[in-house]
Chains A and B, each alone.
Chain A
Amino acid sequence: MLQYLLICKSLTYAQRASRMLERRGITATVTKAPNLTGVNGCGYCIKLSEKNLTKAIKALNESKLGPTKIFVLQGNGTANEVFL
């Protein structure tokens, strides 16, 4: 199953988002975002499984914690931006 990275504005936002998702039964791990284009470097993101993506995005948007960007993590460790 694919893993998605939801880029957050800051570490604090990532933590808030993660806690909110965990309360809704979605496993969401806070981790450093890969150094990707369009991100200012040293960002934080939430990593979650493909099966939870839609539910997570909906919950985050409702809580005004929507991600700034979304990336899908490839098997080789690289990440590609996705647009939903």
Chain B
Amino acid sequence: MIYLDSAATSLQKPQSVKWAVSKAINTMASPGRGSHHPAMLAADCVYDCRERLAEYFNVSNSENVIFTFNATHALNIAIKSIVKEGDNVAITGYEHNAVVRPLNYIGANVYIASSPLFRPEAIIESFREILPYCSCAICTHVSNVFGYILPIYEISKLCEQFGVPLIIDASQSAGIIPFDFDALNVAFAAMPGHKGLLGPQGTGVLLCNHETTPLICGGTGGDSMLEFMPEYLPDRLEAGTHNVTGVAGLNEGLKFIMSKPKTTILNHESWLSSNFIAGASTIPQLKLFTSDNTECQSGVVSVICEKMSCEELSYRLGRAGICTRAGLHCAPLAHKTAGTIDTGTVRFSFSPFNNITEVDMAIRILKKIIDEA
């Protein structure tokens, strides 16, 4: 099996992640409840991971690093902390439903900073036009469909200029494309723990630099006499029992990432996707969505095939042992922007654990499937 669906979730993880999960499930209780050894082990584990995340993303106070259950949970906290009904919100044309649906649920007026794929200067101009009318902006760092790397530093400077708080969706970049949260000076950055950060499912992270509104209210283990959620972080946003086994695994995933020079994983994934693009470009029936500028594209590539639907292609690839995802990828807006809303795409997404042999094999199988169709 060749797993090329890391944009959905990382399947291959460092061995240390699996050991950490196993160890946690056998030895760790719940932090912030008892003060016995298993509870304090859990507390130390959660604290260690929080500190490590703060170091990796350059967050000056680790209390501003919040554990969530996935990026969607993190985005909902961020969005509902800032946006109210009737607010004007600027988003890119590549946002995931985890951004679009909460905005629609709240009743915000959504303004799309429209721009073609892989044209960062166009999206900056588009934001410049609509930001004066908006009270919040949301921007994905990397499109989960097309791997388009958006210019978040330039967009954040613009937002700062207009006094508009910015939320970054780092779902496809966290752990792959390093970014400096303090330097970005955005309101929030949301990310899953189970994709580029190589942790287990059921983990997510929200980096905070803005007032927050709890999404879930409940016990936090401390200040129990208070009948409202505490004002201080992280407790304010972490009601209920932590996913300690998940955080233990996430901590190891992060250690793995931090053991390498910062751009190693991005360089590796970009190299794999470049080779994939080079090979897939020789198949005439395939249309690829790629950038001439490799700095605009991550290890995520979408294709459509003239000979069959994307679902059929993905199914046949799956039967041949190549794991991909087909359809709209929970991002219909991205497909509307790129003109693929009627077809969807087949998405190939790479991880640090893929290698060039797998890319070559995937190309050979792709050619065979298309030739035999």
Q: Which residues of A contact B (CB under 8 A)?
A: 9-13, 15-16, 19, 30-32, 40-44
Contacts and interface: CB of A to CB of B under 8 A. Distances in A.
A40 B223 contact: yes
A23 B31 CA distance: 22
B224 A16 contact: no
Contacts of B62: 12, 16
A41 B223 contact: yes
Interface string B24-58: 00000001101100001001100100100000000
A32 B224 CA distance: 12
Given A11-B43, A44-B222, 8 more contacts: A10-B222, A11-B31, A11-B221, A13-B63, A30-B35, A40-B223, A42-B224, A44-B32
B189 to A, nearest CB: 19
Contacts of A40: 222-226
B202 interface: no
B269 interface: no
Contact of A32 (B35, B223, B232, B234): B35
25 contacts: A10-B222, A10-B230, A10-B234, A10-B235, A11-B43, A11-B221, A12-B47, A12-B50, A12-B62, A16-B47, A16-B62, A30-B43, A32-B34, A32-B35, A40-B223, A40-B225, A40-B226, A41-B223, A41-B224, A41-B225, A42-B221, A42-B222, A42-B223, A42-B224, A43-B223
A23 B50 CA distance: 18
B44 A15 contact: yes
The 9 closest A-B pairs by CB, nearest first: A40-B223, A42-B224, A41-B225, A41-B224, A40-B225, A32-B35, A15-B47, A11-B32, A31-B35
A30 B40 contact: yes
Nearest to B33: A42
Q: How many B residues touch the partner, as a band? A: 20 to 34
Nearest to A9: B232
Contacts of A44: 32, 222
A42 B220 CA distance: 10
B53 to A, nearest CB: 13
A65 B85 CA distance: 38
Contacts of B224: 40-42
Interface string B231-258: 0101100000000000000000000000
A19 B32 CA distance: 17
Interface in B187-236: 221-226, 230, 232, 234-235
B165 to A, nearest CB: 24
A44 B227 CA distance: 18
Most A CB atoms within 10 A — which of B32, B35, B40, B222? Answer: B222
B71 to A, nearest CB: 22
A18 B47 CA distance: 12
B222 A11 contact: yes
A62 B187 CA distance: 28
Interface string B308-345: 00000000000000000000000000000000000000
Contacts of A19: 47
A11 B225 CA distance: 15
Contacts of B34: 32
Contacts of B225: 40-41
Nearest to A42: B224
Contacts of B44: 15
Contacts of A10: 63, 222-223, 230, 232, 234-235
Contacts of A42: 221-224
B223 A12 contact: no
B222 A43 contact: yes
Contacts of B223: 10, 40-43
Nearest to A31: B35
Contact of A12 (B35, B40, B234): B234
B239 to A, nearest CB: 13
